Structure 1
């Protein structure tokens, strides 16, 4: 037996011994493995870092379209900031405070692909509550096994909803048709070294009227080690076998902290074409110098609905002015000031009303 064969034989024995050792780590209650999965917030956590902010420069057709829309409305080009806070993750925010709520909502909807990575992380994090875990355990059965994933031993967990358990059931009324969606099964593939999620597959059943369909959403993660941190570096989102969004993070060391240098997105647009977005970061500020003022900004549905209603009334008032019916216009403008004082059109209505009163 030559040296090369002997070495191969030894490596094979070592591999088998490691395989056997790792197989022993699957507990009798596989649900316990869910508690071992590290929080994504933990992965981002770094000693001495509580928060950081950075200006975000966006490139791509999606951004160009947004600039054109803003220009047509007489508004400045949109500017963005990204904010990280410990235990709360990353928030991508619009900096233009003078944008009306309806336009801010348009920005949020257009930038759905850009926010996909953050939203997936938040969704997974929301399932860490003890109440959710207990309900999940009561509503499912589990199958656990070792599998080869990317030529490396991984643990595969398949959680199957019990009949009638209603796992993650919710009502859906989009597209004018009401129906119910519930999760049928969830499949995790975990890397045992740190119990990182490498793949999550969610199968859902959707019932609308007499029609029942099944949808499979698949999330694939890749990671990168920097300094003492293991950071999520890539995410691929697939729906029924078709790639919808690809995300890649480029990191760098700044002030001795790991931060995003770039984010790259590929996505499928509403017409089925492929779009790309690149975000580059600059002007980093850390801890007490970080600008976190916009981190918790939210637009409620009520505010958006009132903004839309006020816009209709304001446009009607302008039509009356153009047709010379100023008294009717004044009545409309007073209605906005009285009933919609929190909207952006209230101030415009006051200005226009003052002009008509001169």
Structure 2
């Protein structure tokens, strides 16, 4: 009886203390979410610092010498081309016009007399009533008199032009600055300083500086077909960090490199109807200088960094093994990294489940954002525990 009880107890203990590895099984590989690398056209943006430059700038200068009698504009106002700005004392120039008119009238009278004398001498010379030399001299005097009329007419035109120059007009339309000369000062046609400066600021230019080396590399890639041309639209960021609402367009780039800075000047043109942009402001211009047709965009969490700053990603490789691969990710585009080397079309880049992942580890790859399946506890283990 006792022997039978011991045997039954041993069988029960053996059933309760079975091999736990058989009950639980091996731990399944972790599930990771991947995205498929697909090359596409990605713009190559560039941000360049620059300065605003007036579309047109004109210095108001006197063309005759005289005393300034009036200033005919309000400093800082908008003036139109041809609008009178200064009045120079016209007294001497008006007298010069009167004198030129009198000289012209005298020349005309002398010419009339010389022509009449030549006309009278012609038939007499033909009849040999007078010497032919006398007629020749009279005809020459008539021609000299006609030339004198032309000379005095030109002098009258010059005097009238100088009189008109006593009113100094605006050469262009735009915003005029402060007056650099006061009423009562002597203005000279040969003076070095202007009377005032007018600037047209709508539209307005932005001159940007780009490294000659960067521009050369870009042109080389464009020539080799690695990059494609982008649009010429430019956006501005003002010096306070705010955005300028109106876009501009790139106009041209200089053909020479600055010897002091090693940069090339690019010029863009912007509308400026409200006068927000003033000449001399510092701005940042942002535009797409080219398009990379074979770049790959990856969300930033998929790209990891080594201690030296180099980038790498994990791929879902063959036989469901994690594969660590170096890539080139030198710039961001929005919330993505732009991968220019290291990936090919169709590579499965792991985006989710990267924590603790190592090269060669077994994985269960699924498309990114697939819900993870959580299994229920195995019944055998629970039954064994109960039995135990």
User: Which TM-score applies when normalising by structure 1?
Assistant: 0.19
Structure of greater Rg? 2
Q: Which is richer in helix?
A: 1
User: Which TM-score applies when normalising by structure 2?
Assistant: 0.18
Q: Pick 1 or 2: higher relative contact order, CA cutoff 8 A, min separation 6.
A: 2
